[in-house]
Amino acid sequence: MAIEVRNVRTDEEFNAWCDAMDVGFYLPQHRGEGPRRRERYQDLGRVWAGFDGDQLVGTLASLDLRLTVPGRAQIPLDGISAVTVAATHRRQGLARQLMAAELGRAKERGESIAALVAAEYPIYGRFGFGPATETAQWLVDARDLRFRRELPGRIELIDAAAARFEAAALYDRVRADGVGMVSREGWRWDRDTGQSPRDGDAPAKSVLHAVCRDERGQIVGYAAYRFTEKWTNQRPDNTLHVVALIATDPVYEARLWKHLADHDWVTNIVGPEFDRADAIWRDLLVDRRMAVPANGWDFLWLRVLDPAAALAARTYARADRIVLRVEDKDGYAAGTYALQAEADGGARCALTLEPADVTLPVDRLGSIYLGGFTAARLAASGLVEEHTSGAVERLSALFAVGIAPHNPMIF
């Protein structure tokens, strides 16, 4: 029997979809949570499933998100999530069918870009996604963490209920300027601050929540953290695990790290799992080797569906006009586009019959779109083709951003 790919239609099917997703992510202990999750997925037109007869064997969800692009515009983003295929049905093209169904729907909705966080590197390039941001987890030696200057800000501990709203409000303020940042739904803050425990779970008490206030009393930073106790030769050797850390600028970020390192008995700090790969706050350290990266990897992957709309939505570092040919075997973005970047940073983009200055596959366009990767870097490996002398360098200069894009949220 052929596999049918369609939207989930009923609450009963949604419950089965949740169970299939949990099994697909090797979390079978979470089965039965469909009713609890239903309010997170109110639009079943964004919930896709593969059916083999009555058996649900594949899942994919689309999230209605916003992406901050260079110039501070927040554009609609098709957030791809919950992609699983049952072990009994792998290598049969089901993931491609699910992805094609959603990307086609996103194009109809007028969303110019889709995004996801790739669990495995080789998979999503086949569907036109390219890595656009990088992340790292930082390991910090707390025993002698000294800074090059006095750090402003006052630290205050707050309870989890207050953290739910203060952290969300701060995140949205930071996101307004943060290229690459993705909007975060309220239910994620409920979950991460322990406001919506699973049935039978006791309220989380192991996590502490701290905010940093500036001289006016405004919250400019937030950190959530917990401890692992350890004694070595009867000497304290505890580790502090940072669950989340956000701040309006690197100075206040450094102030939060200082607060974490100031805890007695703590020798090591394990930073947030999805932190900035460049970690600008480290420049304020007397010894930058006190903080070292671990588990660095690509994070947010972008898939351009409408190059004209996507390229016109962001601003550019200089005025120029360049013609790009975008290759897309699935057809969504294929074409030749004239991009006119103005001196004020604004831009226009439209299909053209002119010869291209540069040809690049759609996944490469996704990689350079936010400025995290450059056309020159890709061209050095033969991944971008130049037709007009100097066009690759011009393209790199156009898309340049001062600070690398970063997205701290997995979805």
**Residue 406 pLDDT class (50, 70, 90 cuts):** very high
- List, in sequence order, every residue forming a beta bridge with 347; answer none if it has no partner: 341
What is the overall mean pLDDT for the chain? Answer: 96
Please check whether residues 106 and 144 belong to one and the same domain: no
Calculate mean pLDDT across residues 273-288.
Answer: 96
Give the β-pairing of 266-270 and 231-232: unpaired
Give the β-pairing of 275-276 and 74-85: unpaired
Identify the active-site residue in 14, 41, 51, 124. 124
Name 324's Cβ contacts closer than 8 Å, sequence gap at least 6. Answer: 307, 336, 337, 339, 356, 357, 358, 359, 360, 365, 395
Q: Was 173 annotated as part of a binding site?
A: no
Please check whether residues 175 and 200 belong to one and the same domain: yes
Q: What is the CATH number of the domain that holds 142?
A: 3.40.630.30
| pLDDT at residue 286, as a whole number | 98
Residue 330 is assigned to a structural domain of this protein: yes
Q: Was 55 annotated as part of a binding site?
A: no
Please check whether residues 315 and 202 belong to one and the same domain: no
Residue 119 is assigned to a structural domain of this protein: no
- pLDDT of 205 over the 90 cut: no
Q: Select from 65, 45, 129, 66 the least CA-distant residue to 95.
A: 129
Q: Was 96 annotated as part of a binding site?
A: yes
pLDDT in tens, 361-396: 999 999 999 999 999 999 999 999 999 999 999 999
> What is d(CA 198, CA 31) in angstroms, rounded to the nearest whole number?
12
Which of 59, 78, 111 is where one domain is finished?
111
Calculate mean pLDDT across residues 169-186.
Answer: 97
Q: Was 242 annotated as part of a binding site?
A: no
Identify the active-site residue in 225, 252, 332, 411. 411
Calculate mean pLDDT across residues 163-182.
Answer: 97
Residue 125 is assigned to a structural domain of this protein: no
Range(s) of the domain holding residue 167: 136-297
Residue 217 is assigned to a structural domain of this protein: yes
Calculate mean pLDDT across residues 36-45.
Answer: 94
| pLDDT at residue 195, as a whole number | 87
Number of H helices, E strands in the chain: 11, 22
- pLDDT of 182 over the 80 cut: yes
Per the confidence metrics, is the pTM higher than 0.85? yes
| pLDDT at residue 197, as a whole number | 78
- List, in sequence order, every residue forming a beta bridge with 162; answer none if it has no partner: none
Residue 128 is assigned to a structural domain of this protein: no
Residue 126 is assigned to a structural domain of this protein: no
Active site residue 124: yes
Please check whether residues 86 and 144 belong to one and the same domain: no
Alpha-carbon separation of residue 138 from 198, 269, 280, 400 (angstroms): 30, 8, 12, 26
Please check whether residues 186 and 265 belong to one and the same domain: yes
> What DSSP line would sit under 196-215, residue for residue?
SPPTTPPPP-S-EEEEEE-T
- pLDDT of 1 over the 80 cut: no
214-219: long-range contacts at Cβ-Cβ below 8 A with a sequence spacing of 24 or more? Answer: 214/152, 214/153, 214/252, 215/152, 219/166, 219/169, 219/170
| pLDDT at residue 196, as a whole number | 83
Residue 120 is assigned to a structural domain of this protein: no
Active site residue 227: no
**Residue 202 pLDDT class (50, 70, 90 cuts):** low
Q: Number of folded domains in the chain?
A: 3
Residue 130 is assigned to a structural domain of this protein: no
**Residue 200 pLDDT class (50, 70, 90 cuts):** low
| pLDDT at residue 288, as a whole number | 97
Stronger pLDDT, 204 or 228, i.e. the higher one = 228
